[in-house]
């Protein structure tokens, strides 16, 4: 059984509480071309102390607001949602919960909305005949309001992007109609169409503004990539015109679409179930930059992809994007130990790259370990500020400067913040068991990834977000796809094994 421990100082709690600061819109982005300076570390360093620990098999990333913690748990192979006191770890309440009809592989994590002195969360409860019950829950008391009508949810309830306190998600109401953006009102629990969402036909969210329609080519449709802003669809383009023949958002995605230009990752999808022995070049992956006003392509990077380690790809105010690129390698489809289709990577060569956002020019690059993150459960050091921590081509840990690509070795005895994936969990997806991402754990570690006892505020803040129990976790996906539905807008999909799908945005809209 896995445990989680809250490492508490005032700074850690303040860093985790409340609603995240929204990602800047294009008008908010500073005009300077220099990367924003990192926040200064506490001086002298303050040791973070463990206040309490409670046995719990945590799923996903717990949500924290003030004196309450909300987390999904696995209990006797069932999924529950529970509230804990952040002061002493006391269990306040627990409710049965379901993962819903989101894609297998997506991380299961709760959200919190604060309104008029109360803290709320929302969860999918039992279902009957395919229709889910959505519960609005007081995070401190467990008092529950059951939403009406029932729904087939295609994404998980998240805080709405506007200033009205509510939960937004996508789904189909039992009283009729197609899939649409929905809003769960606080505190009434009224559930209905989201009037603030852009009018987008049946689609999945790929980011804050970017969406893809559910017209899959293998179903005879034409999948469109689009951009919506201020409740208006600005443009739509054929998905395959952007990412190439055979591509689909079913193959996975990652979008950074809060600035201009918008930058996105996409890869091809094999519509027919691959046969054992088939191969696919990793260099077919593609990173593109588009004009958010028109959708016109500005540049593309063949082999471009998200990085296997969690980094801040595009720092606020920076004119460069940090990404990764495959320069060689193939995905080989093989028979897994359980008889299901599995994948192996062969001949992998990849590099860390700094891309000039305006032109797509590569400013610097550095070769990466070909085996880094092939083992999804290996510990990996987190990056922060001007440093990118990764394993070089010779497998040694190196520190790369974001500014100029200069490489240095860790200091002797240097302590890092590490992250490691939890073992996935299996719950029902429709009527068939499927694996969901259980999230990740963070802990202090050395250059080899081994746990150490030393833990300070500075180390706990390594990585793009605060740590403690407030770290963010990427979504992980698996091959083969088991269905095609709407998916959460937080960078998730059903895709091949050994790949991470980025979750770059803090606050999500209900649509498109």
Query: Sorting pLDDT into bands at 50, 70 and 90, what band is 106?
Result: low
Report d(CA 281, CA 55) in Å as an integer: 44
| Cβ atoms of residues 503 and 474 within 8 Å | yes
* Span of 36-50, 51-65, 121-135, 318-332 with lowest mean pLDDT: 36-50
pLDDT at residue 175, rounded to an integer: 76
Name the average pLDDT for the chain: 75
Phi, psi of 71 (to 5 degrees): -150, 145
Query: Sorting pLDDT into bands at 50, 70 and 90, what band is 129?
Result: low
pLDDT at residue 314, rounded to an integer: 87
Query: Sorting pLDDT into bands at 50, 70 and 90, what band is 108?
Result: confident
> Is 25's pLDDT higher than 70?
no
First to last CA, the chain: 39
For 509, half-sphere exposure in the C-beta direction (CA atoms, 13 angstrom radius) is: 28
pLDDT at residue 441, rounded to an integer: 81
* Span of 8-17, 55-64, 100-109 with lowest mean pLDDT: 8-17
Report d(CA 185, CA 83) in Å as an integer: 21
| Cβ atoms of residues 82 and 94 within 8 Å | yes
For the four alpha carbons of 43, 47, 53 and 57, in that order, the dihedral sign comes to positive
pLDDT tens, residue by residue, 55-90 = 888 888 899 999 999 999 988 878 899 999 999 999
| Cβ atoms of residues 81 and 94 within 8 Å | yes
Report d(CA 2, CA 55) in Å as an integer: 7
pLDDT tens, residue by residue, 308-354 = 777 889 877 789 999 999 999 998 989 887 777 788 889 999 999 99
* Span of 119-128, 209-218, 463-472 with lowest mean pLDDT: 463-472
Residues in the chain: 512
Q: Locate tokens 């509230």: which residue?
A: 83
Q: Please state, in angstroms and as integers, the Cα–Cα distance from residue 194 to each residue in 89, 116, 180, 508, following that order.
A: 36, 22, 8, 13
Q: How far is CA 81 from the centre of its chain?
A: 20
> Is 208's pLDDT higher than 60?
yes
pLDDT at residue 118, rounded to an integer: 94
| Cβ atoms of residues 482 and 494 within 8 Å | yes
Q: State both tokens at 175.
A: 């009283």
Which among 200, 209, 203 has a CA at the least distance from the CA of 222?
A: 203
Q: Locate tokens 């009957």: which residue?
A: 128
pLDDT at residue 309, rounded to an integer: 79
pLDDT at residue 48, rounded to an integer: 65
* Span of 89-98, 187-196, 254-263, 484-493 with lowest mean pLDDT: 484-493
pLDDT at residue 472, rounded to an integer: 28
> Is 8's pLDDT higher than 60?
no
Report d(CA 475, CA 377) in Å as an integer: 14
Which among 373, 289, 294, 388 has a CA at the least distance from the CA of 35?
A: 388
Top mean pLDDT of 35-39, 101-105, 211-215, 473-477 is at 211-215
Indicate the helix (H) or strand (E) that contains 239.
Answer: helix 239-243
> Is 112's pLDDT higher than 90?
yes
Express as a percent the part of the chain with pLDDT over 90.
Answer: 31
Which among 234, 263, 232, 265 has a CA at the least distance from the CA of 249?
A: 265
Express as a percent the part of the chain with pLDDT over 70.
Answer: 71
pLDDT at residue 209, rounded to an integer: 87
Q: Locate tokens 């309001």: which residue?
A: 145
Phi, psi of 394 (to 5 degrees): -90, 15
β-bridge mates for residue 144, sequence order = 137
| Higher pLDDT, residue 372 or 430 | 372
Report d(CA 371, CA 393) in Å as an integer: 9
Report d(CA 127, CA 206) in Å as an integer: 27
Q: How far is CA 400 from the centre of its chain?
A: 24
Query: Largest alpha-carbon pair distance within the chain?
Result: 64
pLDDT at residue 51, rounded to an integer: 82
> Is 382's pLDDT higher than 90?
no
| Higher pLDDT, residue 330 or 501 | 330
pLDDT tens, residue by residue, 386-440 = 889 999 989 899 999 999 999 999 999 888 888 888 877 777 665 667 777 777 8
pLDDT at residue 455, rounded to an integer: 64
> Is 45's pLDDT higher than 70?
no
| Cβ atoms of residues 287 and 277 within 8 Å | no
Which among 82, 108, 89 has a CA at the least distance from the CA of 50?
A: 89
pLDDT at residue 336, rounded to an integer: 82
pLDDT at residue 374, rounded to an integer: 63
Which among 190, 207, 252, 201 has a CA at the least distance from the CA of 224?
A: 201
pLDDT at residue 201, rounded to an integer: 63
Phi, psi of 283 (to 5 degrees): -70, -5
Q: Locate tokens 């790949």: which residue?
A: 499
Q: 272 CB contacts (<8 Å, ≥6 apart)?
A: none
pLDDT tens, residue by residue, 150-168 = 888 777 788 987 778 999 8
Cβ neighbours of 110 (radius 10 Å): 25
Helix/strand/coil percentages in the chain, nearest 5: 5, 45, 50
pLDDT at residue 90, rounded to an integer: 94
Which among 25, 508, 501 has a CA at the least distance from the CA of 265?
A: 501
| Higher pLDDT, residue 206 or 201 | 206
Report d(CA 350, CA 95) in Å as an integer: 45
Q: CB under 8 Å, gap of 24 or more: what pairs does 235-244 form?
A: 235/293, 235/294, 235/295, 236/295, 237/295, 239/212, 239/266, 242/266, 242/288, 242/290, 242/297, 243/267, 243/268, 243/286, 243/288, 244/268, 244/284, 244/286
Phi, psi of 18 (to 5 degrees): 80, -175
Rg (the chain; Cα; Å): 22
Q: State both tokens at 305.
A: 């992809």
Instruction: Assign 114 to helix, strand or coil.
Output: strand
Top mean pLDDT of 12-26, 182-196, 204-218 is at 182-196
> Is 271's pLDDT higher than 70?
no
């Amino acid at each position: 059984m896995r445990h989680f421990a809250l490492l508490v100082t005032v700074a850690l709690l303040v860093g985790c509480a409340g609603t995240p600061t929204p990602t800047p819109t294009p008008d908010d982005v500073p005009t300077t071309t220099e990367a924003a300076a990192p926040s200064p570390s506490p001086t002298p360093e303050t040791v973070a102390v463990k206040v309490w620990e409670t046995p719990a098999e945590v799923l996903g990333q717990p949500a924290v607001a003030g004196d309450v913690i909300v987390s999904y748990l696995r209990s006797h192979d069932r999924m529950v949602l529970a509230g804990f006191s952040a002061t002493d770890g006391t269990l306040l309440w627990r409710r049965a919960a379901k993962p819903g009809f989101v894609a297998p592989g997506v991380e299961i994590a709760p959200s919190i909305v604060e309104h008029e002195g109360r803290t709320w969360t929302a969860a999918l409860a039992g279902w009957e005949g395919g229709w889910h019950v959505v519960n609005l829950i007081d995070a401190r008391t467990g008092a529950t309001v059951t939403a009406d009508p029932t729904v087939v949810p295609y994404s998980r309830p998240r805080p709405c992007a506007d200033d009205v306190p509510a939960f937004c998600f996508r789904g189909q109401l039992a009283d009729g109609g197609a899939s649409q953006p929905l809003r769960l009102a606080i505190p009434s629990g009224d559930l209905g169409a989201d009037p603030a969402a852009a009018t987008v036909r049946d689609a999945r969210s790929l980011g804050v503004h970017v969406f893809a329609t559910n017209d899959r080519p293998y179903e005879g449709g034409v999948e469109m990539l689009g951009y919506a802003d201020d409740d208006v669809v600005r443009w739509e383009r054929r998905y395959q015109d952007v990412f190439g023949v055979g591509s689909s958002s079913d193959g996975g995605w990652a979008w950074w679409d809060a600035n201009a230009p918008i930058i996105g990752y996409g890869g091809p999808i094999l519509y027919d179930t691959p046969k054992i022995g088939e191969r696919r070049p990793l260099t077919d992956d593609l990173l593109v930059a588009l004009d958010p006003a028109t959708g016109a392509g500005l540049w593309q990077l063949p082999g471009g992809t998200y990085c296997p380690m969690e980094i801040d790809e595009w720092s606020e105010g920076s004119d460069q994007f940090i990404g990764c690129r495959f320069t060689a390698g193939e995905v080989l489809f093989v028979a897994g130990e359980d008889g299901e289709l599995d994948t192996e990577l062969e001949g992998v060569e990849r590099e860390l790259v700094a891309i000039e956002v305006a032109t797509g020019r590569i400013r610097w690059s550095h070769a990466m370990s070909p085996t880094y993150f092939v083992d999804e459960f290996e510990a990996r050091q987190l990056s922060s500020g001007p440093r990118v921590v990764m394993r070089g081509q010779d497998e040694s840990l190196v520190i790369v400067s974001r500014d100029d690509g200069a490489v240095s070795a860790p200091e002797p005895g240097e302590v890092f913040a590490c992250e490691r994936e939890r073992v996935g969990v299996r719950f029902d997806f429709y009527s068939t068991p499927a694996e969901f991402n259980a999230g990740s754990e963070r802990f202090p570690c050395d250059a080899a990834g081994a746990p150490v006892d030393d833990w300070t505020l500075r180390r706990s803040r390594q990585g793009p977000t605060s740590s403690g129990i407030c770290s963010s976790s990427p979504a992980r996906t698996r091959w083969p796809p088991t269905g095609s539905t709407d998916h959460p807008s937080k960078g998730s999909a059903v895709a091949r094994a050994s790949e991470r799908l980025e979750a770059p945005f803090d606050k999500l809209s209900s649509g498109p």
